[in-house]
Chain A
């Protein structure tokens, strides 16, 4: 296995017709890390991946693999491995022929090819499937063949384009760990493109959240989940309850008191630069909100619905005067009075200040 190499994009941009798919974007993927490009469809994550792969030519900027500028190189000269969403296995070849294809293209002899193919089949636990036709495999098995095929040539960078998108939920969760484990073991620098926030958080070392052709936040899964910088990021990374209000003053020890627009007061932690009178919006994750008695709570809300979701209860509540409902996830059922009116509270630490101006 060759040593891990970093990947660098420097102000890469791309337009399709009048649409700017990618605003000048710079990205540094560290050697051996798995970086997820996460975002809704049309955010530019796939375009970014296709530029790295060499299927699209960027209008500006350069792509570096290690120290080598590969911007002008065709895909076959970039030493990449790629797993496509539908696996893209060659239907007219057996499992072994599929995996051997990249070696064949590199002029590796038949005996060496067979040895490497068997080694890869062992890695993805498909040893007995060598001579099967790819039609005879299940989705998960096809996915593993695709992975083996992309890794057999010992690529510098592994590109994963929604690799688990076509699998059902249980298999997907298992494959997330399996893929992650193989990637770690080989120490191969990887880019994962996905619109599934859970997949991105589970599998990657760092997550780059993309929106409208640019990276809006990049950080470890914990950072982007716990400290989203914008409303978009907080909403995209799972349900978030957004509250708005005006800073009333400092409450000591890096905490601030905020007068909420819908009545009540709440505390907000962190960020020293908050001036009194400034308008702020902040997010609170559903699992961080607490249902309590009306007295001593920040906000009053009426319970609309309770859903049991297996490992937790999901409450849907309405705050008077606010259109969007508030969601709360709790491990145990809360006591709700007959009129459904309860108090909402949260710790100052779990209120996440959002950078964006609140929308009018």
Chain B
């Protein structure tokens, strides 16, 4: 299996505060990697550095063998997509959110594709015109997730996307992730604290005080 992401001695600090230290990691294509660790250990920071929303203070990150510092960050983020813990939806309706991936690629929104995606996460197609203020927390997360995969990325970075969701919503979100991992061969890097998700992890890493270790 070829390497899709490689972190070489990545560190991150804010002034004197060293948040991440000497992180090295090889992620193979189509791998499902789970990351856990105590609050404040630098997990989200690590994922945001991989997403190119932050720049590492030390070390380098290679994506498909190329240093991401030399790649166009906009194109890179379309291939390595970061999902937020508590996502914020844009505009007024669900459609405003699902249109965004098309708008940034200067194409007309594919309504059939949007409806199909809603169906995958168990939402009726009439939800396209639903106001975002009328959605539950779980529904918001489901809409945010399909916003990330309207164009299927190579890597999905999941920052505790199931936190605060009830069991039913957790199941739907995890099934969606599994579907994209298995059927669309998307590489997954997922941060979680959820016991069930940790038990199912095929490869588990822990971050403690800014250092990464293989746990499983």
**Chains A and B belong together in one complex:** no
